[in-house]
Amino acid sequence: MRLPFSWLYAFLWPIRSPDTVEEAHTPEPLDPVIYSNMFTYAHLMDISYCIDKFHKIQEPFECDLDCSSRFPNMTLVHQWYFDDAVCGYIATTHSDIFNYTNTLSGKKTIVVSLRGTRSLSDVLTDLRVDMVPFKQVHHRLPRCGEKCKVHKGFAAYFDNTLAAIEDTLVAELDNARSSEDYELVVVGHSMGGSVAILLALHFLGLGYEKLTLVTMGQPLVGNSEFTTWADFVLGSYLPMKHGSFERKYLRVIHKGDLVTQVPSTSRNFLDKYAQFQNQVYLNVTGGETNPKPEEVVDCFSETNPLCIANDFSAFHLGSIFLKNYYVNHNTYFRNLGLCGLSLGWSGELW
């Protein structure tokens, strides 16, 4: 379905205005290897869309998106599907899929990939949803505090997902950590990205520090207390460096992707959602699956007026919705979400 223009305009207008953006920090291109890895992260995310009520990934790692040819040494560990929540898979490999040329052959990469839902109508009612207190169970990270709140729906999806995968994932991580080097890579598109960040924080809190989190088209997750804390523990303020786990979180945002800007407030208007100060910006028009290196930039801040903040300023807001907003949301280094769908599909994903 398509959202009415007037509804979207009225909903998003409060998000950006000229006095809410900061002085521009010149965006910088990514490290060439990190740029190259973006295509791999996107492919791993896209594979999660091969899981639905009627389809699944076949062992050892077979799917309709060239799983076995692109990742010939990948092994499926677990996959899950919920009718009303985010689904995904866990897979492992000893291949150097992220180009760590100095990595020992014994390194094990454990991938957790999460997808969003295929229908906008499934999530419209959550755009102004209530927040709930953030549950921080483990204490290896600094405390977020009593004021930290997160999206009620995403917190519920996280709880369901954790119940489905925690024992399996902990077993994989502990086995790898005891006998070899490891990396935990958590990736997610759309609502899957919102659950991915909660999962990454949970396992970081358990002490699994060799972690990389990449989200694309991720909606907002919590209030400013939560995002400030998450940015700190995930190293959002640090420069990107290939092969380093100092900056663990890369939030990728496509030009004009409105999903990355919502929700703004809950039904309790005292609870306001906040942006993460972490933005890898795709400065390309909708539908471009092969952005040039200079079009994939680190904007350092969500309020940088040279990046997504400018797309949703009062000056540009009207023009954004004259375009196919769902294309902006589903085009991240490839056309996401098409696995298992017929050619007649309309292209509406969340």
Whole-angstrom distance, CA of residue 115 vs CA of residue 64: 16
Rounded to 5, what percent of the chain is helix, strand, coil?
35, 20, 50
109, 94 contact by CB (below 8 A): yes
In angstroms, the first-to-last Cα distance of the chain is 11
Label residue 1 by pLDDT band (50, 70, 90).
Answer: very low
Is the model's pLDDT at 12 over the cut of 60?
Answer: no
Q: List the alpha helices (DSSP H) in 120-234.
A: 152-179, 191-205, 224-234
Q: Which of 276, 214, 274, 218 is nearest to 240 (CA)?
A: 214
Q: Where are the domains of the chain?
A: 28-330
- The average pLDDT across 248-264 equals 92
For the domain 28-330, what is the CATH superfamily, name and number?
Alpha/Beta hydrolase fold, catalytic domain (3.40.50.1820)
Task: Note the Cα 58 to chain centre separation in Å.
Answer: 24
- DSSP state at residue 49: G
* pTM summary value: 0.89
pLDDT tens, position by position, 66-95? 999 999 999 999 999 988 778 999 999 999
pLDDT tens, position by position, 198-237? 999 999 999 999 999 999 999 999 999 999 999 999 999 9
Q: What is residue 320's predicted lDDT score, i.e. its pLDDT?
A: 52
- Write out the DSSP string of 286-331: TT-SS--GGGEEE-SSTT-TTTHHHHTSTTTHHHHTTS-HHHHHHB
Q: What is residue 315's predicted lDDT score, i.e. its pLDDT?
A: 54
pLDDT tens, position by position, 177-206? 988 889 999 999 999 999 999 999 999 999
- The average pLDDT across 6-35 equals 59
Longest CA–CA span in the chain (Å) reads 57
Whole-angstrom distance, CA of residue 283 vs CA of residue 271: 31
